[in-house]
């Protein structure tokens, strides 16, 4: 009896771990491309928050999660395009701009959310969330069925994006060019290839993925928006990219560590672990600091020109 | 190359632009921001004219409004100084929120430990508040210099951690007011509260201290050797190192002072206005302080004006919410818009259009 109980818990934990990993993975893989293109985007949190809010508002006002998803992605791209104008074209300090984007998203979404709440009489409906798939009809398999074959499609998409981005970065010409933006943008410029064009493209892709991550939060994990819903997930994605040494596969590993923590926290509350819940909630942030301490030698893997706007001599 | 065909080129301005054009840019940014905010209000269906006039009236309409605005501006002055000071040294302390809470928490704890007359108690509480924020800043500094954890990451994580710690302290019968249902502390002792400094005017002494801090930091940066080191470190750490500035101690000093200033913001709000701690009472001061710090650079006058403007917005928005029904959260949106517009216009001011001769 207790064996059965424990295995149910473990299955639930692993299943929720993959679900929780999805937004982190989407954002980290998307922003990996941005960082490889030489841009320190510190506005991940804000982009995700904006994606989340726009996805939710669109979903409840049109009744379509798919439109919500599309709108969330569009919002993500738009946010990163503001970043692109400031960081790439105007060559502003990327830390200040990223910080600005976060504060901008927090302020705007808080106000618009309150307004929407007031206009609808103090209550906003829940979203009809995405349902899990039944992949290959295997969802009912014992153990692995629930973990591997009944996730939402975006979870599969997120994990499929890892080999896709790896292939792109390491096996295509355009991917090589993106990578060299972070190492030696001058080489591209000398050959007459547009540096800023590629950086805009990288930021657009990153925004798409981060917006998607935000949308996933409201369309698949919870069913409604609350101000500050991202609660540091964008920053965790940032930490994950550094911990993953700017490479796709190690990034997956780092994502799973953070997802496991959150999954543990959710289940621990359910089972009644006696630790104060604040300590459980604090785990991802504590671990983020510890991870950053452990990976301090990763700086060697950091793209050489990361964060330095390209200036033609 | 291709740009020459248009006959016009965008050229980066040489050197810093003068005071006049920087003032012009600031005014332009503020005007654009109000336009954008008006658009936002219009889109939400509010009466824009009414909302703005209520905002103005609520902020500066009569003496009570002005005093209220100054009261709101007080923690913003401290938090804006905290951000501006750190950014001046190119140290990305974005942990004002956490440091504000840490200051208020340590000050609260100390105020419950001892019983003293207010003449001793108030300085003690202020010292504890500075120490609370400074400790958190010091932690980020050690993480940066010893463990190479970027301060922008550690300070963000501390923001979340500190509020969770407070949330823990406010349950479990630790700090929670006995016999109450809410997650809040009892009111702080009378002796610990920041007294008013003008008869008949409900403005606590924290405001004076904030103004004093503004001038102190200004003098520190302009007149003292340490200030030169900090500015040199901010503009080029490598060169500064060759001139004998130790980067590790520089990071430590800047984060301790910056954190301490943020801690004082927490004391000013908790011991001057709220008189008790909750997990939400101090929310948003850090973010607004960051915005103040970014848009004002490190010019004390700029920080003063920006803090006053945002303090006024916060005060005025309450009247606007009550009468026009526009959510006071419009202030956070307006600040966000001001920030983004300010960042981009100040960049555009770095460039100018020049005519290029054809056939180049």
Q: What is the pLDDT of residues A227-280, one digit of tens each?
A: 999 999 999 999 999 999 999 999 999 999 999 998 888 888 667 677 888 888
Residues A100, A106, A111, A114: what is their CA dihedral angle, to the nearest 10 degrees?
180
Question: Nearest-CA distance from A113 to chain B in Å?
Answer: 9
Cα gap B82→B261, rounded to integer Å: 5
Whether A282 sits inside 8 A of B160 (CB atoms) is yes
CA–CA–CA angle B11, B13, B18 (5° rounding): 155
The total number of residues written for chain B in this structure: 360
Instruction: For B216-273, write each residue's pLDDT tens digit.
Output: 998 988 888 888 888 888 888 888 888 778 889 999 999 999 999 999 999 999 999 9
Nearest CA in chain B to A108: B333
Contacts of A214 (CB under 8 A, 6+ apart): A23, A47, A48, A49, A50, A51, A52, A53, A55, A72, A75, A76, A230
Which helix (H) or strand (E) segment is B198 a member of?
strand B196-198
What is the per-residue pLDDT for B360?
41
CA–CA–CA angle A10, A14, A17 (5° rounding): 135
Higher pLDDT, A310 or B78: B78
Q: Whose CA is closest to B326, among B43, B26, B76?
A: B43
What is the per-residue pLDDT for B254?
95
Q: What percentage of chain B carries pLDDT values higher than 70?
A: 89
What is the per-residue pLDDT for B359?
46
What is the per-residue pLDDT for B1?
40
What is the per-residue pLDDT for B183?
84
Only one residue has tokens 């410029």, namely A189
What is the per-residue pLDDT for A140?
75
Tokens of residue B192, six digits? 């610990």
Contacts of A62 (CB under 8 A, 6+ apart): A68
Only one residue has tokens 């939060």, namely A217
Q: Whose CA is closest to B288, among B94, B1, B15, B135?
A: B94
Q: Which residues of B touch A96 (CB under 8 A)?
A: 87, 294, 343
Question: Nearest-CA distance from A313 to chain B in Å?
Answer: 13
Contacts of A79 (CB under 8 A, 6+ apart): A43, A46, A47, A50, A51, A101, A105, A207, A210, A211
Nearest CA in chain A to B342: A100
Question: Nearest-CA distance from B141 to chain A in Å?
Answer: 13
What is the per-residue pLDDT for B134?
98
Question: Nearest-CA distance from B350 to chain A in Å?
Answer: 9
Nearest CA in chain A to B344: A86
Cα gap A23→A154, rounded to integer Å: 9
Q: How confident is the model at residue B204 (pLDDT cuts 50, 70, 90)?
A: very high
Tokens of residue A36, six digits? 């490889």
A1-35 exposure pattern, b = at least 16 Cβ within 10 A, e = fewer: eeeeeeeeeebbbbbbbbbbbbbbbbbbbbbbbbb
- How far is residue B52 from each of residues A43, A46, A273, B40, B64, measured CA to CA in Å? 30, 27, 52, 12, 19
Q: Which residues of B touch A282 (CB under 8 A)?
A: 160-161, 164-165
Cα gap B226→B107, rounded to integer Å: 28
Cα gap A214→A230, rounded to integer Å: 7
Q: How many CB atoms lie within 10 A of CB B168?
A: 18
Return the residue in A47, A100, A229 with the most chain B beta carbons within 10 A, the one to mutate for interface testing.
Answer: A100
Partner residue facing B149 (CB), from A105, A278, A289: A289
Whether B329 sits inside 8 A of A110 (CB atoms) is yes
Q: Which residues of A touch B332 (CB under 8 A)?
A: 106-107, 110-111
Give the count of Cβ contacts less than 8 A between chain A and B: 126
Whether B160 sits inside 8 A of A231 (CB atoms) is yes
pLDDT at B320 exceeding the cut of 70: yes
Whether B44 sits inside 8 A of A112 (CB atoms) is yes
> Which portions of chain A are predicted below pLDDT 50?
1
pTM confidence score: 0.90
Are the beta carbons of B310 and B261 closer than 8 angstroms? no
Interval B313-331 mean pLDDT: 88
Q: Which residues of B touch A235 (CB under 8 A)?
A: 153, 156-157
Mean pLDDT score of chain B: 86
Interval B212-218 mean pLDDT: 93
Kindly list the residues of chain A whose beta carbon comes within 8 Å of any beta carbon in chain B: 42, 82, 85-86, 90-92, 95-97, 99-101, 103-108, 110-115, 118-119, 231-232, 235, 238-239, 276, 278-279, 281-282, 285-286, 288-289, 292-293, 296, 299
Contacts of B196 (CB under 8 A, 6+ apart): B202, B203, B204, B205
Are the beta carbons of A102 and A45 closer than 8 angstroms? yes
Question: Nearest-CA distance from A175 to chain B in Å?
Answer: 26
Q: Report the half-sphere exposure of A274 (CA within 13 A, side-chain side).
A: 0
DSSP designation for B314: H
Higher pLDDT, B112 or B172: B112
pLDDT at B25 exceeding the cut of 80: no
Burial (CB count <10 Å: 0-12, 13-18, 19+), residue A118: middle
Instruction: For B130-162, write each residue's pLDDT tens digit.
Output: 999 999 999 999 999 999 899 999 999 999 999
Partner residue facing A296 (CB), from B148, B156, B172: B148
């Amino acid at each position: 009896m207790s064996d059965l109980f424990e295995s149910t818990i473990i299955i639930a934990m692993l299943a929720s771990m993959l679900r929780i990993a999805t937004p982190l993975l989407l954002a980290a893989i998307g922003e990996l491309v941005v960082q490889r293109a030489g841009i320190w985007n510190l506005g991940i949190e804000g982009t995700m928050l904006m994606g989340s809010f726009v996805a939710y508002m669109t979903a409840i006002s049109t009744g379509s999660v798919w439109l919500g998803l599309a709108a969330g992605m569009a919002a993500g791209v738009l946010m990163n395009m503001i970043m692109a104008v400031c960081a790439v074209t105007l060559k502003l300090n990327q830390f200040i701009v990223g910080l600005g984007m976060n504060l901008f998203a927090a302020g705007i979404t808080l106000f618009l959310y309150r307004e929407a709440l007031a206009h609808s009489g103090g209550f906003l409906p829940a979203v009809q969330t995405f349902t899990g798939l039944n992949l290959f009809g295997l969802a009912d398999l014992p153990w692995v069925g629930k973990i591997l074959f009944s996730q939402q499609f975006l979870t599969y998409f997120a994990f499929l994006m890892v080999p896709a981005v790896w292939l792109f970065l390491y096996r295509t010409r355009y991917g090589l060019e993106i990578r060299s933006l972070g190492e030696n943008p001058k080489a591209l410029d000398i050959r007459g290839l547009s540096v800023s064009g590629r950086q805009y493209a990288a930021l657009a892709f990153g925004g798409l993925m981060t917006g998607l991550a935000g949308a996933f939060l409201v369309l698949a994990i919870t069913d409604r928006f609350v101000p500050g819903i991202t609660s540091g997930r964008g920053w965790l994605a940032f930490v994950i990219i550094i911990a993953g040494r700017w490479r796709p596969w190690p990034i997956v590993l780092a994502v799973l560590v953070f997802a496991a923590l959150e999954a543990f926290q959710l289940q621990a509350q359910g089972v009644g672990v006696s630790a104060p819940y604040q300590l459980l909630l604090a785990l991802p942030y504590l671990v983020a600091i510890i991870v950053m301490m452990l990976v301090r030698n990763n700086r060697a893997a950091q793209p050489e020109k990361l964060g330095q706007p390209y200036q033609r001599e | 190359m291709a740009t020459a065909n248009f006959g016009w080129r965008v050229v980066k301005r040489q050197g810093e632009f003068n005071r006049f054009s920087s003032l012009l840019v600031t005014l332009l940014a503020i005007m654009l921001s109000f336009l954008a905010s008006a658009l936002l209000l219009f889109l939400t269906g509010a009466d824009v004219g009414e909302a703005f006039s209520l905002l103005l009236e609520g902020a500066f309409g009569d003496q009570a409004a002005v005093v209220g605005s100054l009261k709101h501006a007080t923690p913003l002055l401290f938090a804006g100084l905290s951000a501006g000071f750190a950014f001046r040294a190119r140290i990305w302390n974005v942990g004002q929120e956490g440091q504000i809470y840490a200051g208020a928490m340590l000050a609260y704890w100390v105020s419950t430990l001892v019983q003293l007359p207010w003449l001793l108690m108030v300085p003690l509480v202020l010292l504890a508040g500075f120490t609370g924020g400074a400790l958190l800043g010091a932690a980020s500094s050690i993480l940066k210099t010893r463990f190479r954890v970027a301060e922008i990451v550690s300070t963000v994580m501390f923001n979340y951690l500190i509020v969770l710690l407070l949330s823990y302290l406010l349950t479990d019968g630790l700090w929670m007011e006995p016999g109450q249902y809410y997650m809040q502390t009892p009111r702080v002792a009378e002796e610990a509260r920041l007294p008013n400094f003008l008869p008949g005017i409900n403005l606590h002494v924290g405001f004076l201290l904030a103004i004093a801090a503004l001038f102190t930091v200004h003098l520190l940066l302009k007149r003292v050797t340490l200030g030169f080191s900090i500015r040199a470190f901010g503009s080029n750490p490598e060169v500064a190192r060759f001139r004998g500035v130790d980067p590790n101690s520089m990071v430590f000093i800047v984060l301790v002072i910056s954190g301490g200033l943020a801690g004082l913001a927490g004391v000013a709000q908790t011991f001057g206005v709220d008189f008790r701690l909750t997990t939400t009472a101090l929310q948003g001061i850090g973010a607004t302080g960051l915005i103040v710090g970014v848009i004002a650079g490190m010019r004390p006058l700029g920080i003063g004006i920006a803090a006053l403007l945002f303090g006024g917005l916060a005060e005025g928005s309450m009247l606007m919410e009550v009468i026009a029904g526009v959510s006071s959260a419009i202030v956070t949106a307006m600040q966000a818009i001001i920030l983004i517009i300010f960042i981009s216009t100040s960049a555009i001011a770095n460039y100018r259009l020049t005519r290029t001769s054809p056939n180049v």
